[in-house]
Chains A and B, each alone.
Chain A
Amino acid sequence: MKKIAVYFSTFAVVALWSTALFAQDGGAAANQFSMNSWVAIAAALAIGISAFGGALGQGKAAAAALEGIARNPQASGKLFTPLILGLALIESLVIYGFIIAFLLQGFIK
């Protein structure tokens, strides 16, 4: 419990202190190049986090299906269709993130 308090307070100090650093060079106006960098970082984060979450979800689905096949190899035909359906529905969320990333990439001039 004490360790958690120590970690949390360290993180809070670092996070709040670093905003003072950003305030110093906030004097420059937001031009196209600084907008470009934010849009690029946003696009990368969009697809990165979506792919990470999607891979975790699909891994759990595939693991459950493989365990079911290992218990009962003859049920593999009946397990295949729900597995593919589940994977496609999880993947659709990753595709939404990909579409956002692609639209953001179109805004980089």
Chain B
Amino acid sequence: MADTTFLDLIPGWSKHEHAGWHEIGGFDLGHPALNETGHITLTHAAFGTLVVLFILVLAFIARGKYSNRETALIPEGKFSIRNFFEVIFDGIFGMMSGMMSEKQAKRHFPIVATLAVFIFVSNIIGLIPGLSPPTSSLNTNIGPAIIVFIVYNLSGLLENRWDYVKHFFGPVIFIAPLMFVIEIIGHLARPLSLGLRLTGNMAGDHMVLSVFSGLANDILGAPILFPIPFYFLGLLVCIVQTAVFCILTSVYISLAVAHEEH
């Protein structure tokens, strides 16, 4: 899944990135699922950092627009940085309010909205030729998945305390050992599925784009025209995968903090 990006312009980068860092260190790190053939590649780390810096700059600009009292209340008509954040936050908060109570939605809104913005911007930059989406590597996606796992378990424990642990044991007490194992496996499958779904979608999408661009390069002489339908598909997949990640996170949190009504 290693591809050519703008980082190859850095002297020495492409020799190490596409050949494998183990030539310097002398050892292979990682499992084939995380790093292809055991070579450590840094493209996803570099682009992840760039995305975070970009979002921080945008966030500071958007925050500055709220300092003026009169213009803060009026939404802007055209596409701007403040509108971009407001649309995402409005959608996420509306979706969360539908699933859990208002107080819980406000409490968990920062984590879900941050994930939404980060994953959306990370996915979108993959559509630009020469940039690679950091979310196409499992290394980037396992982080948010583990954070979501910790957040929903902590919220469930803080909110329901003993009731949360009791639901692990199932409805009846004497199938508790079996139910406990099944519940633990089901809960461990959740962050794994979140990470793998996003990784597979982004990596597959990027690969399709690169294959069709290469095909167009061979036939037409330049990578034009053939990948156009796949850019539409790629845009749809980017938005949908962000939404699916956030919806599933909200569902897990709402299931954990839900109070049992008898």
For B199, list chain A residues within 8 Å (CB). Answer: 99
A106 partner residues in chain B, CB cutoff 8 A: 32, 36-37
Of the listed stretches A4-12, A22-30, A90-98, name the one at the interface; the rest are far from the partner chain: A90-98
- The answer to whether A89 and B244 have CB atoms under 8 Å apart is yes
Contact with A along B221-262 (1 / 0, CB 8 A): 000000000000000000011011001000000000000000
Q: A95-B196, A96-B196 are in contact. Are A88 and B241 (CB under 8 A)?
A: yes
Q: B36 — which chain A residues lie within 8 A by C-beta?
A: 106
Q: Is A103 located at the chain interface by the 8 A CB criterion? A: yes
- Partner of B240 from the list A84, A99, A103 (CB cut-off 8 Å) is A84
A interface residues, tally (CB under 8 Å): 13
Q: Contact check, B247 vs A85: say whether CB atoms are below 8 A apart.
A: yes
Interface size, B (range): 10 to 19
A86 to B43, CA, bound (A): 32
Q: Are A95 and B200 in contact (CB under 8 A)?
A: yes
Q: Once the chains are docked, how many angstroms separate the CA of A96 from the CA of B244?
A: 16
Interface SS of A by simple majority: helix
Tell which of A84, A85, A89, A96 touches B200, judged by Cβ atoms closer than 8 Å: A96
> Can you list 30 A-B pairs with a CB-CB distance of less than 8 A?
A84-B240, A84-B243, A85-B243, A85-B244, A88-B240, A88-B243, A88-B244, A92-B193, A92-B196, A92-B197, A92-B200, A92-B244, A95-B197, A95-B200, A95-B201, A95-B204, A96-B196, A96-B197, A96-B200, A98-B200, A98-B204, A99-B33, A99-B196, A99-B199, A99-B200, A103-B32, A103-B33, A106-B32, A106-B36, A106-B37
Task: Give B residues with C-beta under 8 Å from A.
Answer: 32-33, 36-37, 193, 196-197, 199-201, 203-204, 240-241, 243-244, 247
| Additional 6 contacts, C-beta under 8 A, given A88-B240, A92-B196, A96-B200 | A85-B243, A88-B244, A89-B244, A95-B204, A96-B197, A106-B36
Q: Measuring CB to CB, which residues of chain A are less than 8 angstroms from any residue of chain B? A: 84-85, 88-89, 91-92, 95-96, 98-99, 102-103, 106
Q: Which 6 A-B pairs have the closest CB atoms?
A: A95-B200, A92-B197, A88-B244, A99-B200, A88-B240, A84-B240
